[in-house]
Amino acid sequence: MRKVNDKGFSLIELIIVIAIMAALIMIAAPQFFKYLERSRNATDLQNARAVVDAIEIYATNPDSGFPPPDYWQAVTAFAVDDTEDRPDNMHGGAYGGALNGDTRVDDYAWYAMQEAGLIKPSGRPVGIRTRSKYSWETWTVEYKSDGKGGIMFRFGERAGEPVDGDKFREAMTGK
């Protein structure tokens, strides 16, 4: 009697396993990317709320040096390099342009964010950039004094008055 060596898989068995794996990937991949985008959106909202908190804390600190501005100023985060002088990219202040997906910060927010530890000594914002790839390419937090000792904020995907249907504004205001 001869022994037959049957220690391998047949071609049919391998094709069936590959087909099952492909079906599982086709089902799981869209869910994974949906959760990934939700995570990116949550990061953007958390970063924007950190900016709002830093400005509010700085405004209430009597040692901050000067009051909040009585005109709209902005903190704008970009997903990609954006150094052009577009209408939604005109808020420059101390930081100037947005390089390597960084953040454009006006003067008052610069000091507020620096005091809150959101800006490194090297002058670059810490992790504040747009992470979302599908919901928005930029997000902006604009602020000014309300004249009564408080600060007013407005949120949008571009600097300037937010427009209807602005997903970032709706996410920040909970609508």
pLDDT at position 17? 95
For tokens 């427009």, the residue is 163
Helices (H) and strands (E) in the chain, counts: 3, 4
Please tell me which residue, 98 or 113, carries the higher pLDDT value. Answer: 113
pLDDT 10s digits, 5-62 = 667 788 999 999 999 999 999 998 888 989 999 999 999 999 999 999 999 999 888 8
Q: What is the pTM of this model?
A: 0.76
Q: Please report, for residues 79, 84, 130, 169, the alpha-carbon distance to residue 99 in angstroms, rounded to integers and kept in the order given.
A: 10, 10, 12, 24
